[in-house]
Each structure stands twice: as C-alpha cells, then as structure tokens.
Amino acid sequence: MHYEGNIIRPPSEANSILLQVTVGCSRNKCTFCGTYKGERFRIKPDSVIMEDIAFAAQHCRRQRRVFLCDGDALIIPQKRLLRILEEIDKQLPWVTRVGLYANAKALKMKSIDELKALKDHGVGIVYMGLETGDDVTLKKINKGATAAQMIEMGRKAKMAGFKLSVTVLLGIAGLERSQVHARETGRVLSEIDPDYVGALSLMLIPETPIHQDYLSGQFRLIEPQEMLAELRTMIATTNLTRGLFHANHASNYLPIRARFPKEKPATLKLIDEALEGKVPLKPEYLRAL
C-alpha cells in the first residue's frame, strides 16, 4: 500500500482495510489539530489508488470493511469517487461496508442524489467532526461551519441513508464556556440524532494555535473533574432516538459506552459517582491520542 504522511482513522475502523485516497485535509485550519501541519491537500492519482485496491485484493481478504483515508475523502469529485467505489466492489466483493470522513463543506458540495449514489455503491457510514455545538467556540477554533450548518449537513447525511458517527471534543471551549459548550453540543446532537457519538478529550498538540494560546495564558485546559462535569452536562442534554454514545477513546478519563436512551440514566449515575470520587479516573500517563 502507498501510504503518505499521517494516516488517521476512527477507532471503530481499526480492523478495516485503510485505503488512502487523499493526502491531508482540504480545510486543515482547525486550531486544535496538528495532524496535517505543513501538508498540502491533494487527491492521489487514480493509478496509485487502483494499485492499492489490487494489493488489498491479494493480501486483505480477511477484512470485511474499507476506510477511505485521509481527512476528507468525500471532497473527491463524484465521478472519481464512484469509480473508486466500483473498483472496490469489483476487486473486493467480500467487503460489506466502506466508511469515510465527511466535513460540512464536502457534504454541502454533494447533492442528496449524489450522496445516495455513494450509498448505493457501498458507503455505509460517514464520520463527521462536530467538536462543539457552541457557535462562539466553533468560530474560535476555526471550524469553518456554524452549529446550524452542522445540523443541516448531519441530517443530510442521514437522509442519504448513511450511518452517521459524530465526534465531539471535551475541553475545547476552555473553562469560561465549558458548560455552554456542553449544553449546546447536547442540543445540536439531539437535533442531528446520529447513530453514534464519540466524545474525545482535548489533548494539546505542540505548535498548534490552541497550544500557543495555552502557553500565553489565553486558553485554560480544564481539569479532569471539570472535563467530567462537562461530559455529564453533555450527556444529560443529549437525546438520541436510538444511538450509541461512547467516550472510551484513549484520551478520556472515564471510559463510557452507553446505548441511548435506555442506558442514559445509568451513565449519568456512573459519572456522578466518579465526580464524588467513588470511581477512579484514568491516570494521565495512560491517556493518548
């Protein structure tokens, strides 16, 4: 496989065939992200992509899923993306699902019919980074979309028939807007009603704008108990018709995996016990990106 630069994928795609179709991220301006620092976004040549699919056909026969890397595969022009999906279907007939990241810009660029065509050609799940439902914080972290736009695009993805996984980021609003961020994120998640929510905890990456703000005293990274209180408010204000809310990423202090709405009360109780010191939190040295 021809991999270039940093390859990232959702935790749930750990056992998938990682097919890199783009390098970097088409936006690459979020203040907290250093994954593609200095990397110019580009779509890989079709010849390289097809060669990697042929490699997977020979050597990846046990994997039943494909994930299209990097940060923004949905931005690929429709005809080219369909051609890639058709080749996956042709050479990897045992694959049952294709997944990819999708930001608000890419979802807006494609019509609902185009998204449905991608669904018909094997794309079963899209991952969208919301980070926060607070417009003030969205602007500050340079996300490039408002909460209303995130809601619209999340609903559009679901309307196309995809499973939708939304990522949110605990601690991203700092101390001052911590609870506002939690409540607004819960509100936006409820309006999108995704199939999965993944809550990660902010870890500062050196040389990113938010890390520079931290060093200069303009941003305060909240403490573990404050992050846990933020998570509690977020879960309390999130109402999903039928979804999985998990905060079991390596960055989180308290692993949580709850099926909503059934397990929501028990999850809130667990967090309350942790806040009271009855449940131990993950030590700092075990946290990771």
Treating both helix axes as pointing N-terminal to C-terminal, what angle do 147-159 and 112-120 enclose, rounded to 10 degrees? 50
Q: pLDDT tens-digit profile of 160-208?
A: 999 999 999 999 999 999 999 999 999 999 999 999 999 999 999 999 9
Residue 283 reports pLDDT greater than 90: no
Across the range 62-83, mean pLDDT stands at: 95
Residue 110 φ/ψ region, left for φ over 0, alpha for ψ in the -120 to 50 degree band, beta for the rest: beta
**Dihedral angle, C-alpha 139, 20, 13, 242, nearest 10 °:** 50
Tokens 């970097």 sit on residue: 24
Tokens 């990274």 sit on residue: 221
Tokens of 118: 């991608």
Q: Please indicate, yes or no, if residue 3 is contained in any of the structural domains.
A: no
Q: Distance between the two ends of the chain, CA-based, in angstroms?
A: 24
Tokens of 43: 């779509």
Q: pLDDT tens-digit profile of 137-158?
A: 999 999 999 999 999 999 999 9
Q: Please indicate, yes or no, if residue 1 is contained in any of the structural domains.
A: no
Cα dihedral sign for 183, 185, 188, 190? negative
Write out the residue range of the structural domain in which residue 63 sits: 11-279
Tokens 């209180």 sit on residue: 229
Which residues, 6 or more positions from 184, have their beta carbon under 8 angstroms from its beta carbon? 132, 133, 134, 135, 147
Q: Within 10 Å of residue 198's Cβ, how many Cβ atoms?
A: 23
pLDDT in the model for residue 70: 87
Q: pLDDT tens-digit profile of 185-194?
A: 999 999 999 9
- pLDDT band, very low/low/confident/very high, at 34 (cuts 50, 70, 90): confident
Domain count, the chain: 1
Which string of b and e fits 5-35 if b means at least 16 CB within 10 Å? eeebbbebbeebbbbbbbbbbbbbebbbbbb
pLDDT in the model for residue 265: 97
Spatial CA neighbour of 202 closest among 214, 191, 187: 214
pLDDT in the model for residue 249: 79
- pLDDT band, very low/low/confident/very high, at 37 (cuts 50, 70, 90): confident
Q: Please indicate, yes or no, if residue 267 is contained in any of the structural domains.
A: yes
- pLDDT band, very low/low/confident/very high, at 281 (cuts 50, 70, 90): confident
Q: Are 23 and 41 in contact (CB under 8 A)?
A: yes
Spatial CA neighbour of 259 closest among 240, 272, 237: 240
What's the mean per-residue pLDDT of the chain? 95
pLDDT in the model for residue 289: 64
Which residues, 6 or more positions from 114, have their beta carbon under 8 angstroms from its beta carbon? 78
Q: Are 145 and 104 in contact (CB under 8 A)?
A: yes
Residue 30 reports pLDDT greater than 70: yes
Kindly report the backbone phi and psi dihedral angles of residue 257, in degrees, each rounded to the nearest multiple of 5, phi listed first.
-145, 105
Residue 286 reports pLDDT greater than 90: no
What is the pTM for the complete model shown? Answer: 0.94
Which string of b and e fits 55-69 if b means at least 16 CB within 10 Å? ebbeebeebebbbbb
Across the range 116-145, mean pLDDT stands at: 97
Integer Cα distance of 94 and 236 in angstroms? 40
Q: Are 9 and 43 in contact (CB under 8 A)?
A: no
Q: Please indicate, yes or no, if residue 155 is contained in any of the structural domains.
A: yes
Spatial CA neighbour of 253 closest among 171, 162, 159: 171
Across the range 65-77, mean pLDDT stands at: 93
How far from the centroid of its chain's Cα atoms is residue 14's Cα? 14
Spatial CA neighbour of 147 closest among 180, 108, 184, 103: 184
The CATH number for 144's domain is: 3.20.20.70
Residue 214 reports pLDDT greater than 80: yes
Which string of b and e fits 178-187 if b means at least 16 CB within 10 Å? bbbbbbbbbb
